[in-house]
Amino acid sequence: MNRQVLLRRRPTGRPVADDFEIVDAPVPPLADGDVLRRTIYLSLDPYMRGRMNDGPSYATPVALGHVMVGRTVAHVVESRHRSINPGDFVAANDGWQSYGVSNGKDLQKLDPARAPISTALGVLGMPGLTAYVGLLDIGQPKPGETVVVSAAAGAVGSVVGQIARIKGCRAVGVAGGAAKCDHVVRELGFDACVDHKRGDLKDTLAAACPGGIDVYFDNVGGDVLKAVFRLMNQNARIPLCGTISDYNATEPPPGPNLRPLLVKRAMIKGFIVFDHNDRAPAFFTDCAAWLREGKLKYREDIVEGIDNAPAAFLKLFDGGNVGKLLVRVSPDPTRPIAS
Ligand code: NAP
Ligand code: FER
């Protein structure tokens, strides 16, 4: 049977368990050319919150009663496709379910010898590419500049700060709690990390950025963005990647004063990773090399079992995850669980 997590109801504010429904459906039969795969990892990402809403939006909402969307890493169990074979590992877009079937056009083959297959959802996947294009193409960091990134211990932010260091910048993270900040500095090698839960962000951020801020890679919006504005240098760049602090808001949050953008001739630019697929080859070459050389580290937060996906999803909004949030839907044959 195919266990699926469906969108049962559109959430108001923070999603709750009753917004989802867990069902068992039959695995669909294969037509000629089709590929059946078992999900190993499901990626949980903040954009999924937007897909749960109705109304005008950037992307088609998940229809009520349908499987929640999401990118997956899977093991091919049966294939009627010419070049995809049982035993192959693939990245797919099967969503929150334990099996997927398609004609294979949407599948990307993975080589477990090249990198752990789970990295196709994180450091070598969409979040990694987001960090790469947002920082390098939009942020345009120069050696010696100060780069600040929020959600610094997360999937995107952790890569942003490490690439900033590789490019000769001072990397300053903003993260929730002392343990995360410690991880960001000690394990990921940032120069400093400021705890946004301490409440004195204006002062702590200023102390961590004595030369001001040249690039702010914004993952959260809200109060962190407000604190950054005061510290911007002339011609600062702000790649606007996400505003997770308001994804569960029920009314529009009060906006910051934008005047410092004018005074500092700063540039703020929104971007969406899907418009930058032309950069995927360069991203993959660079990040795979940095991983092999030990210059790029990553952490994964792996939750066991698809039934736990709805509760795990909320970690993104509570700051409960360190690193890329994944659900292990079935065992990973390339990486047996240590017990
Ligand atoms: P993530 O950072 O792994 O997880 C989300 C983190 O956001 C949480 O762990 C939490 O960390 C932080 N957070 C949540 N609520 C917050 C708040 N109110 N104030 C400050 N921090 C808060 O997630 P991710 O997948 O890497 O995504 C990060 C951001 O990038 C999101 O905004 C996402 O929408 C965006 N994104 C955009 C694109 C694009 O194409 N533009 C692509 C991918 C991702 P703390 O504990 O540190 O607070
Ligand atoms: C995200 C937040 C916003 C994201 C994408 C968007 C992929 C916007 C997408 C669009 O407008 O098409 O986390 O991740």
Residue in 245, 244, 234, 243 with CA at minimum distance from that of residue 267: 234
pLDDT band of 79, cuts 50, 70, 90: very high
Q: Kindly state if the Cβ of 17 falls inside 6 Å of ligand 1.
A: no
Whether the Cβ atoms of residue 283 and residue 131 lie closer than 8 Å to each other? no
The yes-or-no verdict on residue 339 having pLDDT over 60 is no
- Closest approach atom of ligand 1 to CA 156: 26
Ligand in nearest proximity to the CA of 219: 1
Q: What is the pLDDT of residues 4-13, one digit of tens each?
A: 999 999 999 9
Please state the rounded mean pLDDT for residues 295-309. 98
Cα–Cα dist 179/43, whole Å: 24
pLDDT band of 338, cuts 50, 70, 90: low
- Is the whole-model pTM more than 0.95? yes
pLDDT at 58: 65
The length of the chain in residues reads 339
**What tokens were used for 162?**
């490490």
Cα–Cα dist 119/121, whole Å: 5
Tokens 């920082």, residue located: 135
Tokens 């002339």, residue located: 234
Cα–Cα dist 324/196, whole Å: 20
pLDDT band of 324, cuts 50, 70, 90: very high
Ligand in nearest proximity to the CA of 222: 1
Which residues make Cβ contacts (< 8 Å) with residue 94, sequence separation at least 6? 37, 39, 70, 72, 74, 100
Whether the Cβ atoms of residue 107 and residue 115 lie closer than 8 Å to each other? no
pLDDT at 336: 76
The yes-or-no verdict on residue 91 having pLDDT over 90 is yes
Whether the Cβ atoms of residue 128 and residue 122 lie closer than 8 Å to each other? yes
Cα–Cα dist 332/89, whole Å: 10
Cα–Cα dist 145/31, whole Å: 56
Ligand in nearest proximity to the CA of 69: 2
DSSP string, 120-157: GGTTTSHHHHHHHIIIIIII---TT-EEEEESTTBHHH
Ligand 1 centroid – CA 85 distance (Å): 36
Please state the rounded mean pLDDT for residues 209-214. 98
Residue among 247, 316, 321 to mutate when testing ligand 1 (max atoms within 8 A of CB):
316
Other CB atoms within 10 A of residue 114 CB = 14
What does pLDDT average to over the chain? Answer: 96
Residue in 168, 184, 183 with CA at minimum distance from that of residue 136: 168
Please state the rounded mean pLDDT for residues 114-132. 98
The protein residue whose alpha carbon is closest to atom 31 in ligand 1 is 242
Percent of the chain with pLDDT strictly greater than 70: 98
Q: What is the pLDDT of residues 225-277, one digit of tens each?
A: 999 999 999 999 999 999 999 999 999 888 888 999 999 999 999 999 999 99
Percent of the chain with pLDDT strictly greater than 90: 94
Q: What is the pLDDT of residues 147-206, one digit of tens each?
A: 999 999 999 999 999 999 999 999 999 999 999 999 999 999 999 999 999 989 999 999
Cα–Cα dist 270/252, whole Å: 18
Residues 218-237 as b/e (b if ≥16 CB within 10 A, e otherwise) read bbbbbbbbbbbbebbbeebb
Which domains are present in the chain?
2-121+299-328 (3.90.180.10), 126-276+284-290 (3.40.50.720)
pLDDT band of 55, cuts 50, 70, 90: confident
pLDDT at 236: 98
pLDDT at 205: 98
Q: What 8-state DSSP symbol labels residue 336? A: P
Cα–Cα dist 244/122, whole Å: 18
In terms of Cβ atoms closer than 10 Å to its own Cβ (0-12, 13-18, 19+), residue 243 is middle
The protein residue whose alpha carbon is closest to atom 1 in ligand 2 is 47
Residue in 176, 208, 255 with CA at minimum distance from that of residue 216: 208
pLDDT at 57: 64
Cα–Cα dist 161/148, whole Å: 8
